[in-house]
Amino acid sequence: MKVGIIGSGTMGSGIAQVAATSGCKVKLYDTNQAALDKAKMALEKILNRLVEKTRIDEAEKLRIQNNILYVDNLKELSDSSLTIEAIIENLDIKKNLFSELESYVSKDCIIASNTSSLSIASIASSLQKPERCIGIHFFNPAPLMKLVEVIPAIQTSKEVLDKSIKTISNWKKTVAVAKDTPGFIVNRVARPFYGEALRIYEEGIADFATIDYSLKAIGGFRMGPFELMDFIGNDVNYTVTETVFSAFYFDPRYKPAFTQKRFAEAGYLGRKSGKGYYDYTEGAVKSEPNQDKVLAQQIFDRILVMLINEAADALFLNIASAEDIDNAMTKGVNYPKGLLAWADEKGINWCVEKLDNLYNEYHEDRYRCSPMLRKMNRENKSFFN
C-alpha cells in the first residue's frame, strides 16, 4: 500500500514510522526541507535506540528507513491510495490543502485528517468527492500509543470507513470509531480530568500537588492533572478546552478555567517553558502534597464521577460504543481502567448520588447527571455485566 503523510512534525513522522513498519511505501511530505531533514534524523535516532534495546535488528531498521521517501512537492503523493494530513489545527489551511491534494491523487484515494478536534464534515466539504474523506486520529507518540480514533463524516462512504478500519487494524492499532462531534471520544471525555481539578483548586480545597497525589495514590493514574497539563503545555491544553467549549455552544460542562488562562498568559506553559503549575528550573523546591487519605478520596471521587458522567453521556448520545469509549481512554490516554467499567465497579447508584450531591451543592448545569446513568440506575443495569 502506498501512503502519503502530510506534515513532518512529531505526529506526521510518527504516523510515517507506523505505516512504514507495517510494510507500506510511505512518502512524507513537507514544504520545509529543513523539517524533512530533521524528521529523517529523528527517525534514525529512534530506530538506533530500538536496535540498542534489541527490539529490532539492523535489517529491520533499514527496511523501515527504505520504506519512507521524504518529498517537498505535494504532487509526489499522486500515487497514494491513502493520505493522512498532520498539520496545524486550522480549518481553512486544511481545507485549502485538501482541495489542492484532490487535484493530484486518484479518484479512489482516501483523504484523511489527523485533526483532534475539528469537524471532519467541514474538512470534507472542501473536496469534489467528500465521500472519500475521513478522520484518522492518532495519539502522541504515534508509534507507542495503541489507539486510533476513526471518525467518519456524514459524507463518508461505508467503503471508505471499512477500508480505513481495516488499514489501521493492519497497522496493529486498536480502532475506536467515533461520531464526528467536537473532541471525538478522548478529548471530549477527558475534559473533567483537567477542568474539575482546576475547579477544586480554584475553590481552595487543595493545591496542585495534593490534587495530583489523590489521582495517583487513590486512582492509579500515572500522572496527575497538573503534571499532565505541564507535560502537554498549558497553552495547548487551554486552546483545546476553549475549542471544545465553543464547539458545544458554551455548554457549562466544558467551561475553561481562569487559572489555566492566566498561567498561559503569564508564559507558564509547563515543562517546555521551565515553569507551569510546578517549577522545573534547576534547584527548585518540589511541592509536597497533603497526604490526608480522606481529602485524597474526596478529590478523586469528585473527578472520577465527572469523568464517568462524560463517558456515559458520550454513550447516551451515540458518540461511540461502550467498548470503544473504554478502549479510547485506556489505550489513548493510559487511564488505569475504562470509565464505564469503573462505573460498574463503583455502582451506578454511587455515580448518580455523587452527581446529585454536587448538583444540589452548586446548582450548576455542569454537574447534571447523564440521563443514561439515571435510566440504568432505575432499571438496575450496568454497562458490561
Do 133 and 119 touch, CB atoms closer than 8 A?
no
- Classify residue 123 by burial, with Cβ atoms within 10 Å: 0-12, 13-18, 19+: buried
Q: What would the grid cell of residue 263 be?
A: 498561567
Domains, the chain, ordered by start: 2-177 (3.40.50.720), 186-385 (1.10.1040.50)
Look at residue 89 in the predicted model and tell me its pLDDT.
87
The string of pLDDT tens digits covering residues 25-84 is 999 999 999 999 999 999 999 999 999 999 999 999 999 999 999 999 999 999 999 999
The DSSP bridge partners found for residue 3 are 26, 82
Q: Look at strands 25-29 and 174-177 and give their pairing.
A: unpaired
Look at residue 126 in the predicted model and tell me its pLDDT.
97
Do 226 and 197 touch, CB atoms closer than 8 A?
yes
Positive or negative torsion for Cα 15, 19, 20, 22? positive
Q: Which of 37, 194, 178 is nearest to 115 (CA)?
A: 178
Look at residue 12 in the predicted model and tell me its pLDDT.
96
The total of other beta-carbon atoms located within 10 Å of residue 285's CB is 6
Q: What is the rounded distance in angstroms from the CA atom of residue 332 to the CA atom of residue 342?
A: 17
Q: What is the rounded distance in angstroms from the CA atom of residue 104 to the CA atom of residue 127?
A: 12
Running along the chain, 385 residues long, what does each successive block of 10 average in pLDDT?
96 97 98 95 96 95 97 97 95 96 97 94 98 96 95 98 98 97 94 97 98 97 96 89 91 95 95 95 92 97 98 97 96 95 98 98 97 97 93
Positive or negative torsion for Cα 8, 10, 16, 17? positive
Do 139 and 167 touch, CB atoms closer than 8 A?
no
Tell me the CB-side half-sphere exposure of residue 199, using CA atoms within 13 A. Answer: 20
Q: What is the rounded distance in angstroms from the CA atom of residue 130 to the CA atom of residue 77?
A: 19
What is the DSSP-derived secondary structure letter of residue 144? Answer: T
Q: Compute CA distances 133 → 72, 110, 220, 250, whole Å.
A: 23, 6, 38, 28
Residue type at 21 in one-letter notation:
T
Q: Estimate to the nearest angstrom the gap between the alpha carbon of 329 and the chain centroid.
A: 9
- The residues annotated as belonging to the active site are 116, 137, 149, 187
Residue with cell string 535516532? 45
E-strand spans in the chain? 2-6, 25-29, 68-71, 82-85, 110-113, 133-138, 147-152, 174-177
Q: What is the rounded distance in angstroms from the CA atom of residue 279 to the CA atom of residue 64?
A: 39
Look at residue 306 in the predicted model and tell me its pLDDT.
98
Q: Which of 66, 77, 82 is nearest to 29 (CA)?
A: 77
Q: What is the rounded distance in angstroms from the CA atom of residue 172 to the CA atom of residue 207?
A: 41
Q: What is the rounded distance in angstroms from the CA atom of residue 277 to the CA atom of residue 206?
A: 13
Tell me the CB-side half-sphere exposure of residue 11, using CA atoms within 13 A. Answer: 18
Look at residue 236 in the predicted model and tell me its pLDDT.
85
Q: Look at strands 147-152 and 133-138 and give their pairing.
A: antiparallel
The string of pLDDT tens digits covering residues 338-379 is 999 999 999 999 999 999 999 999 999 999 999 999 999 999
Do 325 and 314 touch, CB atoms closer than 8 A?
yes
Look at residue 140 in the predicted model and tell me its pLDDT.
87
Calculate ∠ Cα 252-238-276, nearest 5°: 130
